[in-house]
Amino acid sequence: MNAVHRWYCRSGKWADQVRDRILPWVLRDADLGDDVLEVGPGPGVVTELLRARAARLTSVEIDPRLAASLRERFAGSNVTVHEGDATNMPFAAGSFSGAVSMTMLHHVPSSRRQDQLLSEVHRVLRPGAPFAGCDSRSSLFFRLAHVLDTMVLVDPETFAERLERAGFREIRVEPRAAAFRFRAVA
C-alpha cells in the first residue's frame, strides 16, 4: 500500500466505518464458527472486531511489517498472525470454520492470483463453511488512494462465476455504488 492508503486504513474514520457500516453489512447473520480465517488483515482494524466473534482467529498477511506489527499487537490473545501469501497457505484442508476477506482482493496483483486465492480459501475451509467479504468498486477517491499502489479491481458482475470455479456454492454477490459484498459456502 502507498503512504496515503496506509494512513487512511489506520485512521479512526476508517475504523468507525468498518465497525458501524461495513462489517455489519458483510457479516449480518453470518455464523463463522469457532476457528476463523482472515485473509489480508492489513493494519488489523477488522481483526480487532473479528476476534470477539470467534474462539480462534488466524490472520494471513503478506506484508512482513504489517504481520510483525499485528503479531505484537495481538500477542497473548485468540489471534494468530501468519506472515504469508494467501494463494498458497500452509494450513491443512478443512482447517477453518469460516473465512473473511475485507476490502483486500483488489490488492492481489492479477485476476489469476485472485482466483488462486479463492481456490486456496476454499481448500482450507471445512465443507459447508462460509466465506464472506467485500471489496471496493472504482471511484475517483479510490483511484487516487491507489496511485502507485496495486489495484486490480474485482468485477462484481463476474465474481460469482469466479467463486463457483473455485468450488464455492450458495453464492451471493450484492453490489452497491462504492462496494460489493459476497457470501459463499465451501
Residue range 3-21+35-185 forms a domain whose CATH class is alpha beta
pLDDT at 143: 59
User: What per-residue confidence (pLDDT) applies to 139?
Assistant: 58
Amino acid at 40: G
| CA gap 33, 118 in Å, rounded | 19
- So what's the pLDDT on residue 142? 58
The dihedral formed by the CA atoms of 100, 138, 64 and 97, expressed in degrees to the nearest 10: 10
Q: What is the pLDDT of residue 75?
A: 98
The pLDDT value recorded for residue 111 is: 96
Quote the DSSP letter at residue 96: B
Residue partners of 155: CB distance under 8 A and separation at least 6? none
| N-terminal to C-terminal alpha carbon distance within the chain | 30
Q: What is the pLDDT of residue 15?
A: 78
Domain ranges of the chain: 3-21+35-185
How far is it, in rounded angstroms, from Cα 37 to Cα 96? 6
Q: What is the pLDDT along the chain (186 residues), one digit of tens a residue?
A: 556 556 666 777 777 888 899 999 999 999 999 999 999 999 999 999 999 999 999 999 999 999 999 999 999 999 999 999 999 999 999 999 999 999 899 889 999 999 999 999 999 999 999 999 999 876 556 555 655 667 688 999 999 999 999 999 999 999 998 899 999 999
At 107 the pLDDT is 87
The secondary structure of the chain in percent helix, strand, coil, rounded to multiples of 5, reads 40, 25, 40
